[in-house]
Amino acid sequence: MSRREVRDFVESTRADLGATLDEIEHRLTPKEVSRQATQWLSRSYDRKPVAWLTGIALSIVGGVAAILWAVTNDD
């Protein structure tokens, strides 16, 4: 390879690496991560709403039970 070919290859590789790093940076921004998480939660709820509602109800019952236990416990 000539010097010019090596220089062109290095410049092309740097440009590709820069584009890759920009894409990674974009995908890891808090806004993008929260958008993806919201979409995942929405799709998951749409597929099995009963499971989600059951889990939420059990969490609420568990939270209330823990509070009642803490309030009524004589320790």
The pTM for the full model equals 0.56
Vertex 52 angle, CA 37 and 33, to 5°: 5
**Can you list the residues of the chain whose pLDDT is less than 70?**
75
pLDDT at 48: 96
Note the pLDDT of residue 73.
84
What is the rounded distance in angstroms from the CA atom of residue 64 to the CA atom of residue 30? 32
